[in-house]
Copies of this chain bind each other. A is one copy, B any other.
Amino acid sequence: MIGDSEFDRDTAVVRRGPGVYGIDLSAGWTIISAVNGGYLLAVLGRALADALPHPDPFTVSAYYLTASQPGPAVVRTETIRTGRTLSTGQASLFQYDDQGNEVERIRVLASYGDLAGLPDDVRTTATPPAIPPLDQCFGPADGPAPIEGSNAIADRLMLKLDPATLGWALGAPSGKGEMRAWFGLADGRDPDPLSLLLAVDALPPTAFEIGLKGWVPTVELTAHVRRRPAPGPLRVSITTRNLAGGFLEEDAEVWDSENHLVAQSRQLARARLA
């Protein structure tokens, strides 16, 4: 189920030279006015997977500089250090202004390893999010579009939100900084470490449930991939504890169908107060 999906096709980078990759950013992953940050993270993650000697992202830190648009882009990578267990690299995604000059969209640092090579020890106090069964959760197709502007990404995702975190869509946000959902790719492609980079930034912002409206642009997002996900739908839980000074953090946890914590992320985002 991995290899010929919309996600695989739209993240496919073409090697143009040592560490340099081309891609045509798909319009299929836009939300409101910009290309989704999780999709972009997966594009950069895929370029680094090719450039570095290890296959899987263990930790990826992305700084979002300017909003990406559908269309041509180039990814430039640098191998910083190669070790036995981990290798570390850097990548930047560039697009072009009206004069054809490169404009940097995102810069990332990342360490890659081999998830299949890790010992199977787990000592965790983390528990999967309390979320109703999938058929009791709701997605964009179940009601009127709550977001103005493009929502093309909705057609690519299987996204079913916990009704307890859907108050914002009905004009009655809970006031809690929580968002929970079942998550998958609409064409049934199973999750893998790269699609986890999409999963951590694909839900509506927790800010909506706090009562804010509008764009919540990511400043920085770091994702840790902790385990190769089992096939089947993921559960994603996002929590915000602190909205202050016009910024908030979003902490995401991603759980697979076998109740393993497969990814954690945190982002700092800007919030415009109403």
Contacts and interface: CB of A to CB of B under 8 A. Distances in A.
Interface of A: 58-59, 61, 63, 65-66, 80-81, 85-86, 88, 90, 104, 107-109, 111, 115, 118-126, 176-177, 210, 219-220, 222, 224, 226-227, 241-247, 249, 261, 264, 266, 268, 270, 273
How many copies of the polypeptide does the oligomer hold? 2
6 contacts: A61-B109, A118-B246, A121-B273, A124-B244, A226-B244, A244-B261
Contact of A245 (B61, B118, B210, B245): B118
A86 B90 CA distance: 21
Contacts of A107: 80, 88, 90, 109
B220 A245 contact: no
A62 to B, nearest CB: 9
Nearest to A89: B63
Contacts of A119: 245-246, 273
A259 B149 CA distance: 40
Given A58-B247, A104-B80, A210-B123, A111 B264 contact: no
A218 B165 CA distance: 35
A227 B246 CA distance: 11
Nearest to A124: B242
Contacts of A226: 242, 244-245, 247
A80 B104 CA distance: 9
Given A121-B243, A125-B177, A224-B247, 17 more contacts: A61-B61, A61-B109, A65-B80, A65-B88, A81-B104, A85-B270, A120-B245, A122-B242, A122-B243, A123-B243, A125-B176, A125-B241, A222-B266, A226-B245, A241-B261, A249-B264, A264-B266
A133 B96 CA distance: 57
B224 A249 contact: yes
Nearest to A260: B244
B224 A268 contact: yes
Contacts of A85: 270
Given A65-B80, A109-B63, A119-B273, A264 B242 contact: yes
A227 to B, nearest CB: 6
B122 A219 contact: no
A269 to B, nearest CB: 10
Nearest to A265: B266
10 interchain residue pairs of minimum CB distance: A118-B245, A61-B61, A126-B241, A59-B220, A122-B244, A123-B243, A124-B242, A222-B222, A65-B81, A59-B268
